[in-house]
Amino acid sequence: MSQNYDVLVIGAGPGGYIAAIRAAQLGLKTAVVEREHLAGICSNWGCIPTKALLRSAEVLDNTNHAKEYGLVIEGQVKADLEAIVKRSRGIAERMNSGVAFLMKKNKVDVIWGEATLTKPGEVSVSETKKKIVEPQGPKPKNALGAGTYTAKHIIVATGARPRALPGIEPDGKLIWTYFDALKPAKLPKSLMVMGSGAIGIEFASFYRSLGVEVTVVEVMKQVMPVEDTEIATFAQKRLEKRGIKIMLEAKVAKVEKGSDSITAHVETKDGKVEKITADRMISAVGVQGNIENIGLEKLGIKTDRGCIVIDDYCKTNVEGIYAIGDVAGPPMLAHKAEHEAVICVEKLAGQKGVHPLDKRKVPGCTYCNPQVASVGLTEAKAKEVGYDVRVGRFNFVANGKAVALGEDQGMVKTVFDKKTGELLGAHMVGAEVTELIEGFVVAMNLETTEEELMHTIFPHPTLSEMMKESVLDAYGRALNA
């Protein structure tokens, strides 16, 4: 089979399918090649199903504190692991089907199989040989198959996969990736999590809510290393209060496998080795771009540290070939991929006023308990690059809505340029901060100053009031603290 397109996208994850939709909206004949499942890792095995698990954990946590809200629950509330996982997988399937509908609605052809770049403007698609995860998503009706396809513009959106450390490779039984952690056959009594980024901490939080003894090992000096130190320290204390053991400046040097458990040799910063036995281990040491076996080398497409090198508008060094999302480098976040998709397509389509991605304005969210969210520079980074800063803080304990919710442990922190009043960064920990952070993202995109934020009316009673109070505090004007 052979067919010619204006735009052909390799990969139907958050970046790929959004790129295809935007191209179709602009009147370009478009196709997307997918080897495994529409909606990508995010909707099938990442962002969405993990949030479903964490929602179950949140409901369980709230139920366990029912008395604090004046409620009496007769009998014990227990977690049904099979039902929790089933709900999560059902939601993933629903998202998968939703993307199939969007492809049909926007008249985007879906080509099922593995794509290889054979030359600029040409892609060879073969039948998928090995599936990364089971089950494979349902094929959209009338999906195209193996063949050679041509396109004026080819967008590589092949995503990323879990990174493995030599000698500690996941085996799906005793050492898990996040794929395995999403659908455990049984609930372990104890769990070690290697890595305290968003993936590691979210699973640590989920399994702890279900009563599992959890130990987190992190090689850096703080949990969630990309976050502001003050926020990360606050989160760590709350996680430890929940019973999660956290070992910082430590690394798993070796793992011994038993019949139904692992023993990790953990090297601490003082050079000592502590042996820790757990039923299961989650390897959460980051992800790496899927750059192999897609023809990059043959075409001379530049890569760096496992990612495709692109310019401000997602172009590679080869004319007519672009890259977006995780495969194009950090931050490896679904919303960054979606934004790059729109930038890439609108630029290649000749749209006016297209702006490059500003990575400083890409928010990051971790959906553990407590939640963590941020955008922009941390206090330390702002000082490191030469800013004279003003820092504001406001604690949840002084917010009426937080107290009424029974969620009075958290903090909002803002960082301003003392000279200009520019908002350089915002950092939060506590209930629902992953929803609140967008207010500061909008403010930064509008180049809002502290004065404009101070004159903004926030509704009462809401958690969002703390955002304004944090701004006021940076200038010595906090009203409720």
Candidate list 65, 153, 339, 460, residue with the active-site label: 460
From 213, 204, 223, select the one nearest 276 (Cα to Cα): 213
For residue 397, report the phi and psi dihedrals to the nearest 5 degrees. Answer: -60, -20
Q: Which helix (H) or strand (E) holds 257?
A: strand 251-257
Cβ neighbours, 10 Å, residue 127: 10
Q: Which helix (H) or strand (E) holds 289?
A: strand 287-289
CB contact at 8 A, 426 and 415: yes
Question: Cα dist. 223→200, 229, 330, 345, 456 in Å?
Answer: 10, 9, 19, 37, 34
CA angle 301, 109, 19 (to 5 degrees): 50
Dihedral, CA of residue 125, residue 131, residue 135 and residue 136, to nearest 10: -10
- What are the strands, taking DSSP E only, across 352-472? 364-366, 372-376, 389-395, 411-417, 423-429
0.85 exceeded by pTM: yes
Residues comprising the binding site for FAD?
Answer: 51, 326, 332-335
Cβ neighbours, 10 Å, residue 245: 15
For residue 381, report the phi and psi dihedrals to the nearest 5 degrees. Answer: -65, -40
> For residue 293, which amino acid is it?
N
- Extract the tokens encoding 378: 């941390």
Residues in the chain: 481
Per-residue pLDDT of the chain (481 residues; tens, 9 = 90+): 568 999 999 999 999 999 999 999 999 999 999 998 899 999 999 999 999 999 999 999 999 999 999 999 988 899 999 999 999 999 999 999 999 999 999 999 999 999 999 999 999 999 988 666 655 566 777 789 999 999 999 999 999 999 999 999 999 999 999 999 999 999 999 999 999 999 999 999 999 999 999 999 999 999 999 999 999 999 999 999 999 999 999 999 999 999 999 999 999 999 999 999 999 999 999 999 999 999 999 999 999 999 999 999 999 999 999 999 999 999 999 999 999 999 999 999 999 999 999 999 999 999 999 999 999 999 999 999 999 999 999 999 999 999 999 999 999 999 999 999 999 999 999 999 999 999 999 999 999 999 999 999 999 999 999 999 999 999 999 999 8
Which pLDDT belongs to residue 139? 73
CB contact at 8 A, 283 and 164: yes
Q: What domains, with CATH codes, occur in the chain? A: 3-47+82-161+288-359 (3.50.50.60), 175-285 (3.50.50.60), 370-474 (3.30.390.30)
Which pLDDT belongs to residue 349? 98
Q: For residue 100, give the 3-state DSSP assignment.
A: helix
The pairs formed by 93-100 with CB atoms below 8 angstroms and a separation of 24 or more are 93/137, 95/39, 95/43, 95/44, 95/48, 96/37, 96/38, 96/39, 96/43, 96/44, 96/137, 96/138, 97/138, 98/39, 99/12, 99/17, 99/38, 99/39, 99/43, 100/38, 100/138, 100/140
Cβ neighbours, 10 Å, residue 51: 16
DSSP letter assigned to residue 34? E
> For residue 361, which amino acid is it?
K
- Extract the tokens encoding 414: 């803002």
Distance between CA atoms of residues 118 and 111, nearest Å: 16
Which pLDDT belongs to residue 257? 97
Residue carrying the six token digits 């890259």: 323
Distance between CA atoms of residues 284 and 128, nearest Å: 27
Q: Is the peptide bond before 188 cis (omega within 30 degrees of 0)?
A: no
Cβ neighbours, 10 Å, residue 359: 10
- Extract the tokens encoding 413: 């922190």
CB contact at 8 A, 126 and 293: no
Residues comprising the binding site for NAD(+)?
Answer: 195-202, 218, 286
**Residue 427 is a catalytic residue:** no
Which pLDDT belongs to residue 140? 77
Which pLDDT belongs to residue 136? 53
Q: Is the alpha carbon torsion for 348, 375, 43, 218 positive or negative?
A: positive
Distance between CA atoms of residues 452 and 462, nearest Å: 19
Which pLDDT belongs to residue 75? 86
> For residue 316, which amino acid is it?
T
End-to-end CA gap in the chain: 68
Pick left, alpha or beta for residue 304 (phi over 0 → left; psi -120 to 50 → alpha; otherwise beta).
beta
